[in-house]
A and B are shown apart, each in its own frame.
Chain A
């Protein structure tokens, strides 16, 4: 029984891997061409850029394709994910191109994030605590519970945070707080983002950016 179970589990996880890789019908080659409008900011290798004090451009390489596609659609529509800088570019892509671009970036190897070298040890320790243990007395659920054991992302709903640029993570948490971002499933992220203060946001984004992206 034990053996059969393990085999079933392996088969099941194999099946999951295959289906998730092909969940979105997009063509990476076509996506590479369509991504010509993206590379100025997100870079040809999808590494994006951390812009201290400004709007950071997220690293897209290796993110889940369905997640990327949904974000593009939401930014195009503008209501639930307001991004004045992304909206015109998202609007340039038709639906198929958006799928292609999403698949293209998802297949590039994930790279590490950029961060503020000046973050203190105390800040990083606080960030690590929030990301891995949370702070239940304030009902702050640890990031890893949904974003995966090493915050490497889980499926199409919970993107990888490890190795994402610190500036981008902080921007998004603040966007949830201010209402500019409202497109998370069941508002699972919004509910937690609301409970974070500025120190929490800086600490957790600085720590996450320093974690291995794969």
Chain B
């Protein structure tokens, strides 16, 4: 068993090395290569299976149906608009390439590293609760119920993508996991420089006002700030998370084309704009910032005065009519 697992991984390493190679080989003749970092020695490289692989697999047809539903929800989460999603985001807006792409928050690591302790809410989370976090913050909404058809479908799709990765594999040594932190910026992040980067590189899709674009009632480009964007509690309002997302994924199709400094600056600019209230808001932005400072907000501009505005000092929750979904609650694990 151990040997066969090793063999599979060796196969995957070869497959990825080949694709990395093809990008490298292409680089000589192409003007815009992908340029993602190369895998480091000993890193776990996982190439998640595709939906074509699912079709060809011998899994039970009913399971395939559930996984396909999960995929459909993941790619078009807007179908839950007004029920679970209250902004213009899809799961795939941040977890790009069907949740499979390295450096774009691939979702398979969550499957094999959870349940785990999570600093953000100070208790052990399983996969459902982790997904619930995305719905509560990044989608400015409320999750499908634990154990519901939609939650089952989403977790099944996540697990499918993790196929073959050993449970509790070393989470610190996975190629392309999350949005790997960029080196600290040489110059301190700057609003004005960030604004310039935004105007030159992002406006074409995300618009001057950050609102993105909705056309014929369909979201074309997601909102990066404002009422239809992620709220003040979303992971991506941390400068280092957005900087890495931008660096490795934007402008779309041209990853790694901005400098690290540009990525930090534009992240700072975007995260210095208003967005729906942090669901954990106590009624006082400075108090809320302080309460979650160490675990979260020391990396954000929430409750900070930027360009003469105290950010997050408002009662605007966007298009939902509640502040905090009921499922966001502490867990006291007593084992009784």
- Which residues on A are within 8 Å of B, measured CB to CB? 1-2, 5-6, 9, 13, 133-134, 136-139, 141, 145-146, 148-149, 154-155, 157, 185-188, 190-192, 194-195
Considering the complex, which residues of chain B in the window 244-267 have a beta carbon less than 8 Å from any beta carbon of chain A? 251-255
Q: Which of A1, A139, A154 has the most CB of B within 10 A?
A: A139
CB distance from A36 to the nearest CB of B (A): 34
Docked pose: A141 CA to B96 CA in angstroms? 10
Of B37-45, B62-70, B212-220, B283-291, the one with at least 4 CB within 8 A of chain A: B212-220
Taking a contact as CB atoms under 8 Å apart, the answer to whether A186 and B251 are in contact is yes
Partner of B254 from A1, A9, A133, A188 at Cβ < 8 Å: A188
Partner of A190 from B31, B204, B227 at Cβ < 8 Å: B31
Docked pose: A139 CA to B255 CA in angstroms? 9
Give the chain B neighbours of A9 by CB distance below 8 A.
214
Docked pose: A190 CA to B205 CA in angstroms? 17
Considering the complex, which residues of chain B in the window 1-57 have a beta carbon less than 8 Å from any beta carbon of chain A? 19, 22-23, 26, 30-32, 34, 47
Partner of A194 from B31, B218, B317 at Cβ < 8 Å: B31
Taking a contact as CB atoms under 8 Å apart, the answer to whether A136 and B32 are in contact is no
5 A-B pairs closest in CB distance: A136-B97, A191-B32, A194-B30, A5-B319, A149-B218
Give the chain A neighbours of B96 by CB distance below 8 A.
136
Taking a contact as CB atoms under 8 Å apart, the answer to whether B254 and A187 are in contact is yes
Considering only CB atoms, which chain A residue lies closest to B52 in the complex? A129
In the assembled complex, 24 residue pairs joining A and B whose CB atoms fall closer than 8 Å, in A order, are A1-B321, A2-B319, A5-B227, A5-B318, A6-B319, A136-B100, A136-B101, A138-B19, A139-B34, A139-B253, A145-B252, A146-B205, A154-B213, A154-B215, A157-B204, A186-B204, A186-B251, A187-B31, A188-B204, A190-B31, A191-B31, A194-B31, A194-B32, A195-B30
Docked pose: A132 CA to B320 CA in angstroms? 30
Taking a contact as CB atoms under 8 Å apart, the answer to whether A13 and B220 are in contact is no
Give the chain A neighbours of B220 by CB distance below 8 A.
148-149, 154
CB distance from B23 to the nearest CB of A (A): 8
Size range of the chain B interface in the assembly: 20 to 34
Docked pose: A137 CA to B19 CA in angstroms? 8
- Which residues on B are within 8 Å of A, measured CB to CB? 19, 22-23, 26, 30-32, 34, 47, 96-98, 100-101, 201, 204-205, 213-216, 218, 220, 227, 251-255, 317-321
Partner of A188 from B47, B214, B215, B251 at Cβ < 8 Å: B251
Considering only CB atoms, which chain B residue lies closest to A8 in the complex? B227
Docked pose: A166 CA to B30 CA in angstroms? 25
> Other CB < 8 Å A-B pairs besides A138-B22, A186-B254, A195-B30, 14 of them?
A5-B318, A5-B319, A9-B214, A133-B98, A136-B96, A136-B98, A136-B101, A146-B205, A149-B216, A154-B220, A187-B32, A188-B253, A194-B30, A194-B32
Docked pose: A149 CA to B78 CA in angstroms? 13
Docked pose: A150 CA to B66 CA in angstroms? 26
Taking a contact as CB atoms under 8 Å apart, the answer to whether B252 and A141 are in contact is yes
Partner of A186 from B22, B97, B201, B319 at Cβ < 8 Å: B201
Considering only CB atoms, which chain A residue lies closest to B47 in the complex? A137
Docked pose: A100 CA to B270 CA in angstroms? 38
Docked pose: A2 CA to B276 CA in angstroms? 13
Give the chain B neighbours of A188 by CB distance below 8 A.
204, 251-254
CB distance from B38 to the nearest CB of A (A): 15
Docked pose: A143 CA to B100 CA in angstroms? 19
Give the chain A neighbours of B218 by CB distance below 8 A.
148-149
Q: Which of A137, A138, A187 has the most CB of B within 10 A?
A: A137
Docked pose: A134 CA to B92 CA in angstroms? 13
CB distance from A133 to the nearest CB of B (A): 8
Taking a contact as CB atoms under 8 Å apart, the answer to whether B215 and A148 are in contact is yes
Considering only CB atoms, which chain B residue lies closest to A186 in the complex? B251
